[in-house]
A and B are shown apart, each in its own frame.
Chain A
Amino acid sequence: MTVNHHPHDDLLLSYAAGSLSETWSLAVASHLSLCTECRRTIELAETIGGVLFADMPDERMSSDALDHVLAQIDQPSGEAASANTQLALDKHAAVSTTFPRVLCEYVGQDVDDVPWKSIGGEVYQHLIKTADKSARARLLRIAAGKTVPSHGHRGRELTLVLSGSYQDGLSLFSAGDMEDVDEALVHKPTADTATDCICLVITDAPIKFKEWVPRLLQPMIGI
C-alpha cells in the first residue's frame, strides 16, 4: 500500500506527546495502522519526548519504592485475561480487512454489521461515540461512483480512506490516505466506480453544504 496523503505534523506531534484527545487520536492511530511513514515520524517525535524526559531533574522516590515494585511484579497479572482478549481479537482480525484494530473497538469488525444510516444520494454514515466533545467521529460509506454533496468546513476535517477510493477533482485518495483540510477548502468527494468508498471522518465543527437540500436535512442527519 502506498500512502500519499498524511495528517499534518501538529497532529502527529500531539499524539506522540500524549496530549491529543480521544476523537483525534482515533483518526491518527487508525492512519498509523496503515502508514509506515507516519509510524516512523511518531517514533522520531517520541524520541523528542524521551530526550526532554531524560533531561528532567529527578524527584526523590519513597524509601520503600523498590521493595514495593518488586513485590508487585511477583503478583499474577491480568496477562492471562488479556492474552485471551488478544486471541479473540486475532480471530476477528483475520476477517476484518477494512478496519484497523483500534477502530474495531469502536465500530466492530464487519463493514456490513455497521448500522449505516442513509444521508441521501447513496451516501451512508454511522456516528461513532467518543467521550471528548472537541470533535465528532463518523464512518462514511459512499456507494461506488456516488458523490458527497459539495461542502465547505467551519473547522478542520480529517478523512481517512479505509477501503475504495475517492477523488475531489484535484487529488485521488486511496486506502490509507488521510485528507487533512481546514475551513478554506470547499470540496465534493466522488467515490470511484469500482467499489464503495469507506472512510473515517473527524470534524471539529459542522460542515457547510453548498446546496439547499442537504442543508435542510442537516439538523436531522447530524453532519
Chain B
Amino acid sequence: MDLSTRYLGMELRNPLVASASPLSGTVAGVQRLADAGVGAVVLPSLFEEQLRREAAQNGTWADAGTESFAESLSYFPAGAAIDPGPHQYVSLLERATGAVDIPVIASLNGSTTGGWTDYATALEEAGAAAIELNIYHLPGDPMFPGRDVEQRHVEILTTVKAVVDIPVAVKLSPYFSSTGEMALRLDRAGADGLVLFNRFLQPDIDPETLTVTARFGLSRPAEGRLPRAWIALLAGRVNACLAATTGVDHAADLARYLLAGADVVMTASALLRHGVAHAGVMLDGLSQWLARKGFASVSDARGLLSVPVDADGAASQRAAYVTVMQEANAGHRHW
C-alpha cells in the first residue's frame, strides 16, 4: 500500500506525524518514533519565555549564598549559570536530524520579535526540515482587540518567513471569530502549512487546595470533530498543506482526517496513551482500511469528504450542523 504523502514540500513515507510531546524530547525518543514508523517528527516547542525565565532562575540560584561565607564563596563551577538560550534545543535538533532519516520539524514559540527570528534562524541552521510556529497568544488584557490578535499571528509568520528558507507551518488556535478567514490570511501571508488545532495548556483549579494547577489531559477522539470540520472546509481552498491534530487514537481517526482532506495527521496523545509502538498499529490499520476500501494509496482517499471547493462553505457547514443536531435530538427523544 502506498502510504506516502507530501507535507510542507517534503515527501513523507506515510501521513502519521508525531506531534510535539515529551516523546520527541530526546534523541533516543525521536529514534524510537522513527523506528515505530511515523512519517515525520515534530520536536517539543522551544518556548522563548521559558528559556528567559530559566536564564533568570539559573542566575539567581547560582548567585544564592555566594560571596557571603569565607569557605564557600560560590557553590557552582564557573559557567553553570549560563543563559540556556536555544543551545539545548538546537543540539537536540542537530542530533535528532542526524540520527533519523525522516524529517524532523522544529516547533517554535517565541515571545518577542527578536526571539522569533533569532531562534528560527538558529533552528534552520541546525538542520530543521521545517518550522512549526506554535503561536500561543493569550493576551492577559481582556480588552486586547481580536483583530490585533489576528494581526499578530500574521506578523509573526511573515517575520519568520523573511529570515528562513525552510518551510514554515502555523499551528492555529481554534478560537478565532473567523477561523477560516484567519487560515486564509495566513495562507496568503505565505504559510507553507496550517496545523489544526493547537490544544492549549489551560490551568486548572484544585477545589481542595484552592490553588491553580497545571494540568494537561490527552485528547480524545471526539475532539477531532472540530479540526476535521475546518480541514474539510479549508482543503482545496488554501495553498498551504493541512495537518490535522487532536483526537487521533486509532487508524479510523487517521482515515477520517484524510477523508476530510488532511495532508498529514499528527498525534501525541495516542502515542503517550498506548506507547510509541502504537504508531505501527495505526499505520497497519490505515493500510488495511485503504485496502478494504479499495484505495491504492493515501492520495486516493484524501479529501474525498472535504467540502467541495465550488460549494458554499458556510451553507455546507450549516447544513451539516443542522443535520447533526437533528439526529442527536432524535436519539434523545424520549417522548
A and B associate in one complex = no
Q: Interface on B for A, CB 8 Å cutoff?
A: none
